[in-house]
Amino acid sequence: MTTGWDGDFQPGTYAYADARFRFGMRYQSWQLERETRWYYYLTFNRDTSEFYRELELGLPGAKDRQLDLEVKGLQARGLRLSHRFELPALSITPALAYYHVGHFQFGSLRGASVAGDPLTASAVLDYHFDQDKILEYPADVSDGSGISMDISFSSLLKERWQLDVAFSDLWNRWQFDDAAFTTGCINLSGGGQAVCNSSGAASGRSGQSSYVTDIPWSLNTGVYDTSWLLGLRYFQHDRYQRFSLAKDWTTPLGDMGMSLHSTNQVGVHWRSGWHQLEIVSDDVRPAYARDIQLRLGLTLGW
Per residue in 205-222, pLDDT (tens digit) is 888 999 999 999 999 999
Q: Is residue 207 part of a domain?
A: yes
Q: Is residue 80 part of a domain?
A: yes
Answer whether residue 4 shows pLDDT above 50.
no
* pLDDT for position 202: 61
Quick one: which H or E segment has residue 272? Answer: none
User: For 102-124, what is the mean pLDDT?
Assistant: 90
User: For 105-113, what is the mean pLDDT?
Assistant: 93
Sequence-distant (6+) residues with CB within 8 A of 131 are 103, 105, 139
Q: Is residue 79 part of a domain?
A: yes
* pLDDT for position 247: 98
Q: Is residue 288 part of a domain?
A: no
Instruction: Read off the pLDDT band of 5 (50, 70, 90).
Output: very low
* pLDDT for position 128: 94
Q: Is residue 6 part of a domain?
A: no
Answer whether residue 246 shows pLDDT above 80.
yes
Q: Is residue 255 part of a domain?
A: no
Question: What CA–CA distance (Å, rounded) separates 7 from 137?
Answer: 30
Answer whether residue 178 shows pLDDT above 50.
yes
- What is the chain's mean pLDDT, rounded? 90
User: For 149-162, what is the mean pLDDT?
Assistant: 96
Q: Is residue 99 part of a domain?
A: yes
Question: What CA–CA distance (Å, rounded) separates 163 from 181?
Answer: 45
* pLDDT for position 153: 98
Instruction: Read off the pLDDT band of 61 (50, 70, 90).
Output: confident
User: For 159-163, what is the mean pLDDT?
Assistant: 95
Question: What CA–CA distance (Å, rounded) separates 40 from 25?
Answer: 27
- With 0-12 CB in 10 A as exposed, 13-18 as middle and 19+ as buried, what is 282? middle
Question: What CA–CA distance (Å, rounded) separates 111 from 69?
Answer: 9
Question: What CA–CA distance (Å, rounded) separates 21 from 295?
Answer: 10
The residue range of the domain holding 78 is 21-156+166-215
* pLDDT for position 7: 46
DSSP 72-109: EEEEEEEEEEEE-EEETTEEEEEEEEEEEEEEEEEEEE
- With 0-12 CB in 10 A as exposed, 13-18 as middle and 19+ as buried, what is 280? buried
The tally of domains found in the chain comes to 1
Q: Are 101 and 72 a contacting pair, CB within 8 Å?
A: no
Q: Is residue 9 part of a domain?
A: no
User: For 80-107, what is the mean pLDDT?
Assistant: 97
DSSP 219-258: EEEEEEETTTTEEEEEEEETTEEEEEEEEEEEETTEEEEE
Determine the 3-state secondary structure of 121 from DSSP: strand
Residue with the bigger pLDDT between 81 and 183: it is 81
Q: Are 220 and 159 a contacting pair, CB within 8 Å?
A: no
Answer whether residue 58 shows pLDDT above 90.
no
Least confidently predicted of 57-66, 86-95, 270-279: 57-66
User: For 26-55, what is the mean pLDDT?
Assistant: 94
**pLDDT > 70: percent of the chain:** 92
